[in-house]
Chains A and B, each alone.
Chain A
Amino acid sequence: MPEVDLAPLFPILEEYKQHGRTALLPVLHAVQEKYGYIPAAVATNVAKALNTPLADIYGVIDFYALFYRQPVGKVVMHVCADPVCAMAGAEGVMKMMASRLEPVSPGLQEVAAVTVEQSPCLKLCEMAPALLIQGEAISHADTQT
């Protein structure tokens, strides 16, 4: 298990801990952005700082699709899988991405370069098919882009 540097975590906790549990989602967002996922050591510290049981912290992490327990790729791409984008060709984009990227076996120390996931509707339907790359919207996506 790689050592996790907790130094970046402390300023985040300082800012939010006075609010208690209601600050949980903002804290997890900040952690996700800093670390790329929610490491176990971080989760434990968050639980203490916000005075919330660790089980509840994990309940929240697992419930919400944008929080990850395991390291994900440096670049995360969400490809919309809902009807409008599918009609416009999102499946093709998804298949192309999956075939281009080399599979990474679990347990490897290095983080994969890219993670591609299917996502529910991204609300870019008027510009289908749509992707989110690291949170930035890409629309009218085709195999070229």
Chain B
Amino acid sequence: MTANCGKDHPTRLAEYLEQGGYLAPQKVLQMSPEAVIKEVKASSLVGRGGASFPTGLKLELAAKADGQPKYVVCNADEAEPGTFKDRIMLEDDPHRVLEGILISAYAAGATRGFIYIRGEYSYAYQVVSQAVLEALQVGYLGQNILGSNFSFDPELRRGAGAYICGEETALFESIEGKRGLPRVKPPFPATSGLFGKPTAINNVETLANLPLILSKGAAFYRSIGTEKSPCPKLFCLSGDVERPGLYEVPFGVTFRHLLYDLAGGLRSGRGFKAAFFGGAAGAFATIEHLYVHLSFEDLRTAGLLLGSGVITVFDETRDLSDTLLRLAHFFAEESCGKCYPCQIGTQRQHEIMKRIAAHQALPGDTARLQELIHAMTAASLCGLGQTAGSAILSAIQNWPELFKPSFE
């Protein structure tokens, strides 16, 4: 999947075609949308934005829903701290993503589509705009694609600095010209999404998997990875590693292999303290997790989260309470304010973390944090509030002493 990445320049159309690009649409347009959906379902592809919803099912639900026009959306509002895989895909291989959204549109029966790119990604926006023009010129996008009677021309939209707009319904609100406040679900996007119409919204990486599935077939795709987690996955390694960056590995390799063999281990040969899995809304892995296999099922058994594939590594010198404070600050800032558990919960979480990071924890702070995090997780309207406390909860489990007052 990352065959075209890391070359220091975006892959232009000509180069992409040379690499075998845009083969999938030629096949897809000969198939029925139902057949395309069947193939995607057979591949077991699940969403790569963190929620891991089965993609084939998502496309099917939108295809079967009532309402016209139908929409597909590419969610490129990547904002989870520590993740940059979508940025790299968009900047280095935009046509792969365009191919993906085209396939998703055909499958879902969508005539209109949007690519919502985070406001801070001005370079990625330029690259993708250019790629859309190239594809339009040659007929891979636009009216009557490749001589078929399927037409599709996605519109590009820019975000404006709000993490919450990565939440699917908040993203719809943003495209509709409103503040990015998430909607109550149900109803779900497949039946009532953008402008109230059936919408299939997918992450950049998810869409980038579609060309491979449709050109080489689901069986080939499933031969990579494990039984329950087939396929390749993009991991973003950052922090105290020798070689931070984007890594594409088949599901199933051990964490140790990724960290030491591929990423060169820890910088300056320091000891491993912890790794943060999943993004701001994740969990900490400690030394005992080194031999865990990186797959949905194995990570779940180990009590860790795959999320979007973020792994931030901390060496033995790092003060984790500073990291936790920054995460708490992040959530308090980015909370949209629509529902109380998150609006107030993230503020309180931040206040308590400020005390703890300043070594001024009060007796009972640990219990306070646990209680408010449970409330946020169970009662919040959307994923932001539901996961805002997961990092801190994980830290309380692993390093309870960090949260205790110094005299205890």
Contact = CB atoms under 8 A, between A and B. Distances in A.
Nearest to B279: A121
A78 B237 CA distance: 23
Interface size class of B (residues with CB under 8 A): 35 or more
B176 A126 contact: no
A72 to B, nearest CB: 13
Nearest to A23: B177
B281 to A, nearest CB: 13
Interface in B196-253: 236-240, 244-246
Given A84-B81, A120-B333, A66 B176 contact: no
B246 A126 contact: yes
B119 A66 contact: yes
A43 interface: no
A22 B238 contact: no
Contact of B84 (A67, A119, A120, A124): A124
A13 to B, nearest CB: 14
Interface string A12-55: 00000000111111101100000000000000000000101000
A25 B174 contact: yes
Interface in A107-130: 119-128
A92 interface: no
A120 B330 contact: yes
A82 B158 CA distance: 22
Interface stretch (B58-66, B321-329, B370-378, B395-403): B321-329
B269 interface: no
A123 to B, nearest CB: 4
B179 A29 contact: no
Contacts of A81: 326, 329
B244 A22 contact: no
B83 interface: yes
B297 to A, nearest CB: 27
Contacts of B158: 25-26, 29
Interface stretch (A2-10, A57-65, A97-105): A57-65
Interface stretch (B21-29, B42-50, B120-128, B347-355): B120-128
Contacts of A56: 178
A22 B240 CA distance: 43
B162 A64 contact: yes
Contact of A125 (B84, B163, B174, B334): B84
B177 A125 contact: no
Contact of A121 (B82, B123, B162, B174): B82
Interface-centre pick from B87, B177, B326, B334 (highest chain A CB count, 10 A): B177
Interface string B153-186: 0000111111100000000001111111000000
A28 B87 contact: no
Contact of A65 (B82, B160, B236): B160
Interface in A65-91: 65-67, 78, 81-84, 86-87
**Residue among A21, A84, A135 with max Cβ neighbours from chain B (10 Å):** A84
B326 A82 contact: yes
Contacts of A65: 160-162
Contacts of A66: 119-120, 160-161
A126 B236 contact: yes
A120 B81 contact: yes
Nearest to B87: A123
A49 B245 CA distance: 45
Given A26-B157, A29-B160, A86-B322, A63 B179 contact: yes
B318 A87 contact: yes
A141 interface: no
B394 to A, nearest CB: 14
A78 B236 contact: no
B177 A21 contact: yes
A4 to B, nearest CB: 21
A124 B330 CA distance: 17
B172 to A, nearest CB: 10
Contacts of A122: 120
Nearest to A59: B179
Given A64-B162, A84-B81, A123 B120 contact: yes
19 contacts: A25-B175, A29-B158, A59-B179, A60-B177, A66-B160, A66-B161, A78-B120, A83-B276, A83-B323, A84-B312, A86-B326, A120-B330, A121-B83, A123-B87, A124-B84, A125-B238, A125-B244, A125-B312, A136-B122
